[in-house]
Structure 1
């Protein structure tokens, strides 16, 4: 999700506070002043794909196809790009303000579009295409979402869940129609990243307070609970949570605009930062490589991350 582009910390903090005051609230509770997240065993990060033009190449999201190619949403370029295992660029597909990139149960690649506040006037949705094609041609799967859609995740039954910054979580049926009854029960919060694990959605939310991770039961979307509220390295200042993944052991890894990659245990809410650096937009596990992640950044570089063993 995009925010003010200035790197000045006071402007960042002002933007965070303003959003916290205006965004919808999922389950409002008094929040104690945030303390900086403790560090834990550090991860190692190296650049896998450099940015050719910093910021213009902003890597909003990352996903893998079944062939092991990595796809990167270049939101300011209005494209998603395919890179092979060597890091070579092999395809560029036009998608307007692309967000999450996810491989679907049918083998097609699904890309959220309209990840911009202007989706209120020019609604977004989801396109899909064959990722194995030499020149992939996107087709519309979902349209008409005036809610700034961004994150996405499929469940085992083929339903697609979209994190929408201006409305909350949207459930899409396998035929591309919106499940309005389920969606109406889900919390109205500023949703961003979404992952599915054991009939539960984990959602990053910045809708009062900032930095919240929600647990939403798929079978009871009207009964969300808070997993954790993440803080920044600045004492008393919450962080802005962006994307997240869940590993096979059920541990969450969450990216933030303060450049943290935070490890969160959903069972206890315990959190610690395994990485601190530049603002991180997205994170995905590298298929078949335990403890290896890829992360997008606001600069546009894609990082390869080795988690501590």
Structure 2
């Protein structure tokens, strides 16, 4: 998430090196959890200009190409399986990139405090010409589709659910109570959300579960911290084999069991922004970074 909140989080987190977690609705101050077996990482896509190439988010099209949101450049870039740049599409302050059930690429736009009202654009990945799908969201960031084709979008005013025709389910939005939502992933009836600056608690780095069928139901899975009990800042997440993998500002990839809430750190590196399954390797993940590099990560344990 690119925002003023992240600037605050930079001051809070600093150069943290160890991730811990408190389970359930607890707060900071929990004892460190056992470390996972460490993952290996190598560079899948190099950064051309560090920071300017900030890889805010990315998605995969039906041909296995990777689409990377370069939020500071105002572009979404397409890379082939060899990491070669093959197309560039102009999208203002792009956020999440997701493949829709219709085979089109959907991109969050306006993911910046300077962008004003944002929305969602979509385009054919083979002939990219973005057109508006939905508008009117303040600083939207994350996005995820469910199996019915509904699109869930995180924004400064909560979590939205859009129908396949682009209209919004206002009753669903009104039922959700999440402050500072960021990343989002859907699996079955569960809508997993990362959130920072939770209302009433000041909690940074919370992983939540919402219900697709009853958005008023919200369960805290884990609160993540770094450098002992200092709060981290959670960004994106993905579900792989029933386990959540969460990226953080302190540069951690955190493994979270959504059933037990047990969390542990599988990788410590530069600040991470987004994470997706690697289309070229089912055992690996791809993670974006603020520096702009895209890493290929092979989690263990």
TM-score with structure 2 length normalisation?
A: 0.90
Change (3 A) 1:217 1:107: same
Is the aligned partner of 1:61 residue 2:57?
yes
Distance 2:94 2:287 in 1: 16
* Contact 1:35–1:231 (8 Å) recurs in 2: no
| Higher RCO (C-alpha 8 Å, min separation 6) | 2
Is the aligned partner of 1:195 residue 2:185?
yes
Runs (5+) with no aligned partner, structure 1: 15-27
- Report the CA distance between 1:283 and its aligned residue: 0.3
In structure 2, what is the equivalent of residue 163 of structure 1?
Answer: 154
- Judging by fraction of residues, say which structure has more strand: 2
Change (3 A) 1:175 1:7: closer
Q: Deviations over 1:269-300 (max 9, x none)?
A: 00011100100000000136322111100000
* Contact 1:57–1:74 (8 Å) recurs in 2: yes
Counterpart mapping for 1:261-276 below 5 A: 261-276=253-268
TM-score with structure 1 length normalisation?
A: 0.88
Which of 146, 149, 161 is the aligned partner of 2:140? Answer: 149
Change (3 A) 1:32 1:83: closer
Partner SS state of residue 81, structure 1:
strand
Runs ≥4 residues deviating over 3 A: 3-10, 34-38
In structure 2, what is the equivalent of residue 33 of structure 1?
Answer: 29
Q: What's the C-alpha RMSD, in Å, of the aligned pairs? A: 2.1
In structure 1, what is the equivalent of residue 290 of structure 2?
Answer: 298
Q: How many residues were matched structurally?
A: 288
Counterpart mapping for 1:4-15 below 5 A: 11-13=11-13
In structure 2, what is the equivalent of residue 239 of structure 1?
Answer: 232
In structure 1, what is the equivalent of residue 75 of structure 2?
Answer: 79
Change (3 A) 1:45 1:10: closer
* Contact 2:9–2:232 (8 Å) recurs in 1: no
Runs (5+) with no aligned partner, structure 2: 15-23
Distance 1:143 1:303 in 2: 32
Change (3 A) 1:285 1:170: same
In structure 2, what is the equivalent of residue 255 of structure 1?
Answer: 247
Change (3 A) 1:302 1:10: closer
Is the aligned partner of 1:219 residue 2:213?
yes
Partner SS state of residue 141, structure 1:
strand
Partner SS state of residue 118, structure 1:
coil
In structure 1, what is the equivalent of residue 92 of structure 2?
Answer: 96
Change (3 A) 1:254 1:6: closer
Partner SS state of residue 173, structure 2:
helix
In structure 1, what is the equivalent of residue 18 of structure 2?
Answer: none
- Report the CA distance between 1:9 and its aligned residue: 9.1
* Contact 1:37–1:230 (8 Å) recurs in 2: no
Partner SS state of residue 142, structure 2:
strand
